[in-house]
Structure 1
Amino acid sequence: MGNPFFVAIPASSFLKRRIGGITGIARGIILADLAGANGVFVIADRVIEEDWRKSFALRARPLPQVTVVASADQLPPGTAMLPAEALPTKTVLEALANDPTLTFASGDARLVREKDDHATVMTLLRGTLKSTEGPVGRWINRPISFRMSALALRLGIGPDPITWFTLMLAMVMAVVLGQGGVEWLALGGLLFQIVSVTDCVDGDIARVSWAMSRRGALLDTACDTVANFGFVIGLMTGVVRTYGVEYAWIALACVVMLLCGITAMSILLRLGPKRGSFDVLRAALTRRLEGRPVLQSVTLAVERLFKRDVYVLVACGFCLFGLAWVLPGMLLGGLCIWLGAVAWCAPLIAADSEGLLLPPHMRQL
């Protein structure tokens, strides 16, 4: 059994500041807990704000042992010390867990401290970019959503109000699309892209401020489902009203298949990890194709084309250029492929009771 791992956090004026939704002290305590610290010490000569408690309550995670001491002389021997003038990262705490004697220079790339608070928050937001992010999300949606998230954090807006706003915007989008006519379809397609961007903001805020929760993840998944379903129903209604009833059978098939896919994935998540988003499908495909690297690479490359950010931008483009009538056939083909992948990976997802298929940030809930 290894030696106990203790972390000390100096209550400097910088770490007491609320940057990115929480104080630097709270960020250090949360990261120390995730790194397996046996105890955390805060060096302070007066009472400090204990804003980390909300994060642990939201994530249903037991509070770590946090002790306030007046000076470093009261620390146990071998206690790892966090820098006082920069925000720590997960990498810093993992490095200290391996070697508590490490010290970090102010310009160390593993620390976060930019020229002003806005730049610091933007660096924190970029650090939340998921490895599974699609190309459109990485290069188009996230650069926009990060700026929106930074503004929301500065105004003290949490993730839930953003989720509800996105949900209402998705409903407006569905109504607009259903009006029919080239202009309404174009406006609806544009709103779908806007929904795709704003849908990123609540997750950005939650991850940077450590305000993640199972309830929030469930609400976000429900919002995604409503947006996708609303787009399909609104689009199909608008296409039929604009281009004729001959599109009705394709419209009905798309709605039924989407409903079947959403229901199947929801049941599988309920049976398996009990939480999470439809992102588990990519992890399940990766595991299914282990031992066949070429086929795995090709399949995962194709899977990126089915990422929500990609098909939303494509749908937006077709609607804006008056080609919405092409989308029903494309959706029908895409849904067939998606349902096939869901059926193939269903046993893996249903058996994932430990949540190993979940993205890293979801495993902490």
Structure 2
Amino acid sequence: MAEERRGARGWAADTALFALGVFAWLYISGDRMRLGLPSPPWLFEADQLAGIVGLGLLWLRRRWPVQAGLAAAVLSSFSETIAFPLVVLLYAVTVRRPLKTAAWVFGAAFAAAGVYSLLRPQELGVLGNLLFAVVLYGGIAGWGMVTRYRNALRARAAEQERDERERARQRAREELARELHDLLGHRLSLLSLHAGAMEYRSDLSPEELRGAAGVVREQSHLAMRDLREVIAVLRAPIGELPQPSMADLRALVEEARPGSRIAFSATAEGEAPERSGRTAYRVVQEALTNARKHAEGAAVEVAVSGGPGEGLAVAVVNGPGRDTGPGSGHGLIGLEERIALAGGRLEYGPVGDGGWRVRAWLPWTA
């Protein structure tokens, strides 16, 4: 076990214990002189010296509790003024060291109590001294075990708190990664689509080239704007990131319409709750991004319907088209997590004509 550092509170506690030890030493010595000195007379002087040594041992209880406890146990075989330091050191061993080690120290203290009972039986008698030692040391051990258990509970609670903070940070990182994927993936897929048209379509008219170049310029500007917004709130809670809603769906579709054939219908009754509307927006955004990547030139149908009591249904279906490259699959995984957190369901997969369908249901709740 690592050595405990003695801070300001530690110094204050050790000083207070030392002061109590001095008081106990003076009190026991005075009481012994009042009741009568032990026989032989030199035992009293040895007892006083052992008590003073015990006061010094109190300062070692943090760094060397076992060694100090064993030394105090040996001195307790003939000294009564060592009682207070011995109690403190036995408690320290119970709290700070493995229970097996503490058991050996307590065993030495019990053995010393037996020797003390033989050397000085006049106070309580042999059996009385032994019984007193059993009660006293048992109480110290019990008190130390309770403290040890409470310390373990506090340490476990602190560890759980650290783990929870780490999980919260991980959730924040994952949420930020999803936001970056959703914000930039949509823009970059549009850039790729129109840049590819400009590169490979030699039959485009000057007006069509200007239109494609305008889309590239506009989407580059919007991608930079989105990236600046995300970077600006990296230190803020995730809830402060710019969040879309159902009201932004039509703008999303119109933004993706140049160069694509998109049919859009929205028949939802009333304004969808914020969380469900935001999740529906992300479903459509991810589906349109995937359609541009894996079915370039295909017709896309986007339908949103529902209302209070029946939930919000989102369906995006695209026909077969040219696959412009492999995907990571992280987008659909992120959608599953989003929709699960919102209490909804997600289905996706191929359709009979070689196209792809994404269908989600979300509860009409906030």
Q: TM-score, normalised by structure 2?
A: 0.25
Report the structure number with the largest CA radius of gyration. 2
Q: TM-score, normalised by structure 1?
A: 0.25
Structure with more relative contact order (C-alpha pairs < 8 Å, separation 6 or more): 1
